[in-house]
């Protein structure tokens, strides 16, 4: 309980725990988006000609597209010409020793001391600070088993065959407005390739951090698990406090070949904005996995606590026979946060199966929507889906909404959908308080109980982090 008390004291004195920004020299492109900027960006990154061509192609597609507005969210129009599409720390370190001490301090403040991470329990960190990877660890160890774990920029230069084969194969550049924008201007991200039969011995993880004022972040992640391989990848985020809205439009593509298993876990804690939602991150993400081979499996687990707006539907295309897709999600909205999140499970392969467990928590004036699609193609005989969408309301000014879309073209498929909405009751709180628990602790206990099924799917260290984050997020939302 003393930790708990410290946490609360901390939260009382600091409005947003991770809301600090570090003063580092930045190299920044002028605001605005046009072909010249894309050429500049591509050049800065020493990209091969084919990549530049792809970017320009995506830019042309994007220019013709319209920003989508079907989601249950409201925000002021985004001025895409006022955003700077490239920012990079000036010094490019080759080793950790060369990393700007300011950056290392920022990581330490975030609780991820990079130096210690090297020795600490098997977590390799490909640290993305702003747009360019500044440090990569554990690379050698992974290389021993043939795993490629590097920034996407490096992969474009060093592994062009793999990148050309798989990039845009799951999320085409024309997929949606934000995916097209990302395809044109993505600055960096992570690339992972796990060779045939290799079980990745470490939890791979990347911490993203938005730092440059007025700079949109356009991450691009590509993970390929070759036949019979396994990889667990953790993505965790936090951002410094800002007055302007920051656009974030990431694309993540996962490919699982025959008998491969990818576990992708996310903790998203970007600045949510103040009580009125001012200054929070706009998070428009396209995440999709392709279960390409037989018995392949992709599991998405996400804990979404941050951002002013979350627009995110990690999905699985279950192409392989007997392939498995999973989606476990906790989304919390407090203050004036809006989340429209869920998943798509597209069943193509025979006996493919999918599980969706979504837990939405709304407090204060938060609006939380679950949007999920289960689509069973005619080819997917014996396909199965189980969906469970639960909402928990704290207070009476928040909202929870559920938009399930079910479509089956094969009569042998089984689809189950369950949904509940509950409220933290005064009686529950009183019961726990009568046993000596502070109101905040009582709320946190009820919330953790509610999210248990999802949190138990997170890797252990990540689960502890998620727990702390839930507590911090919900502080002040009751009473």
Partner 1 sequence: MIKIESLKAAIGGKEILKGLDLEIKKGKVHAIMGPNGAGKSTLSKAITGHYEVEITGGDILYKGESITKMEPELRALKGIFMSFQNPVEVPGVTNAYFLREALNAKMEFEGKEPLNPADFLRMAREYCEILGMDPKMLNRSLNVGFSGGEKKRNEILQMLILKPDFIILDEIDSGLDIDALKAVSQGINRLRNADRSFLIITHYSRILEYVKPDYVHILKDGRVTKTGDYSIVKDIEERGYSEIGERL
Q: Which residues bind partner 1 (CB under 8 A)?
A: 1-2, 425-428, 430-439, 441, 445-446, 448-453
Smallest distance, partner 1 to C-beta of residue 465, A: 19
- Between 260 and 451, name the residue whose CB sits nearer to partner 1: 451
Smallest distance, partner 1 to C-beta of residue 204, A: 29
- Between 127 and 442, name the residue whose CB sits nearer to partner 1: 442
Q: Measured between alpha carbons, how far is 140 from 124 in angstroms, rounded to an integer?
A: 10
Smallest distance, partner 1 to C-beta of residue 300, A: 21
List C-alpha distances in Å: 11 to 14, 18, 278, 474.
5, 10, 19, 10
Residue 278 has a CB neighbour count (10 Å cut-off) of 13
- Between 164 and 428, name the residue whose CB sits nearer to partner 1: 428
- Tell me if 167 sits within 8 A of 253, measured CB to CB: yes
Burial of 49 (0-12, 13-18, 19+ CB in 10 A): exposed
Tokens for 455, please give them: 């949190």
Q: Measured between alpha carbons, how far is 229 from 187 in angstroms, rounded to an integer?
A: 28
What is the phi-psi region of residue 92: left when phi exceeds 0, alpha when psi lies from -120 to 50, beta otherwise?
beta
123-129 and 132-136 strand pairing: antiparallel
Smallest distance, partner 1 to C-beta of residue 445, A: 6
Please count the residues of the chain.
Answer: 479
> Any idea which residue has 């308080």 for tokens?
433
- Tell me if 248 sits within 8 A of 210, measured CB to CB: yes
Burial of 460 (0-12, 13-18, 19+ CB in 10 A): exposed
Smallest distance, partner 1 to C-beta of residue 359, A: 10
- Between 95 and 434, name the residue whose CB sits nearer to partner 1: 434
Phi, psi of 289 (to 5 degrees): -120, 145
- Between 132 and 455, name the residue whose CB sits nearer to partner 1: 455
- Between 4 and 26, name the residue whose CB sits nearer to partner 1: 4
- Between 56 and 432, name the residue whose CB sits nearer to partner 1: 432
Strand boundaries in 158-258, DSSP class E:
190-194, 199-209, 220-225, 230-238, 246-248, 251-256
Q: Measured between alpha carbons, how far is 273 from 243 in angstroms, rounded to an integer?
A: 8
- Between 274 and 388, name the residue whose CB sits nearer to partner 1: 388
Smallest distance, partner 1 to C-beta of residue 467, A: 12
Smallest distance, partner 1 to C-beta of residue 372, A: 21
Smallest distance, partner 1 to C-beta of residue 160, A: 48
DSSP reduced 3-state for 66: coil
- Between 49 and 427, name the residue whose CB sits nearer to partner 1: 427
Smallest distance, partner 1 to C-beta of residue 219, A: 33
């Amino acid at each position: 309980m003393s930790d708990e008390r410290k946490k609360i004291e901390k939260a009382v004195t600091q409005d947003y725990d991770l809301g600090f920004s570090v003063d580092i020299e930045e190299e920044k492109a002028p605001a605005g988006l046009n072909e010249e900027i894309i050429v500049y960006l591509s050049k800065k990154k020493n990209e091969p000609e084919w990549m530049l061509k792809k970017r320009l192609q995506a830019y042309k597609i994007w220019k013709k597209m319209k920003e989508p507005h079907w989601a249950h969210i409201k925000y002021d129009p985004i001025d895409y010409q006022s955003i700077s599409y490239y920012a990079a720390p000036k010094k490019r370190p080759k080793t950790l020793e060369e990393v700007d001490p300011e950056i290392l301090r920022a990581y330490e403040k975030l609780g991820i001391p990079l130096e210690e991470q090297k020795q600490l329990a098997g977590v390799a960190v490909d640290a993305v600070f702003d747009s360019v990877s500044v440090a990569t660890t554990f690379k050698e160890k992974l290389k021993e088993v043939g795993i490629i774990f590097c920034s996407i920029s490096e992969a474009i230069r060093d592994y062009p065959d793999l990148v050309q084969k798989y990039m845009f194969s799951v999320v085409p550049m024309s997929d949606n407005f934000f995916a097209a924008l990302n395809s044109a201007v993505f600055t960096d991200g992570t690339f992972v390739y796990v060779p045939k039969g290799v079980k990745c011995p470490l939890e791979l993880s990347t911490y993203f951090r938005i730092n440059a004022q007025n700079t949109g972040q356009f991450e691009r992640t590509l993970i390929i698990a070759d036949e019979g391989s396994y990889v667990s990848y953790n993505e965790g985020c936090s951002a410094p406090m800002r007055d302007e809205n920051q656009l974030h439009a990431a694309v993540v593509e996962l490919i699982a070949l025959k008998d491969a298993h990818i576990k992708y876990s996310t903790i998203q804690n970007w600045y949510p904005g103040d009580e009125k939602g001012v200054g929070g991150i706009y998070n428009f993400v396209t995440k999709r996995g392709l279960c390409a081979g037989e018995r392949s499996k992709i599991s998405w687990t996400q804990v979404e606590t941050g951002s002013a707006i979350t627009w995110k539907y990690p999905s699985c295309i279950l192409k392989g026979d007997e392939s498995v897709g999973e989606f476990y999600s906790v989304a919390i909205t407090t203050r004036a946060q809006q989340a429209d999140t869920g998943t798509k499970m597209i069943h193509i392969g025979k006996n493919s199966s999918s599980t969706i467990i979504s837990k939405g928590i709304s407090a204060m004036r938060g609006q939380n929507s679950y949007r999920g699609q289960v689509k069973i193609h005619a080819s997917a005989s014996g396909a199965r889906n189980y969906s469970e969408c639960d909402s928990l309301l704290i207070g009476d000014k928040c909202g929870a909404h559920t938009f399930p879309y079910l479509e089956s073209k094969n009569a042998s498929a089984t689809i189950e959908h369950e949904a509940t909405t509950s409220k933290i009751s005064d009686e529950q709180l009183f019961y726990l308080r009568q046993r000596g628990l502070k109101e905040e602790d009582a709320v946190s206990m009820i919330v953790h109980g509610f999210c248990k099924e999802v949190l138990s799917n997170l890797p252990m260290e990540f689960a502890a982090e998620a727990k702390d984050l839930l507590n911090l997020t919900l502080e002040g939302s009751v009473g």
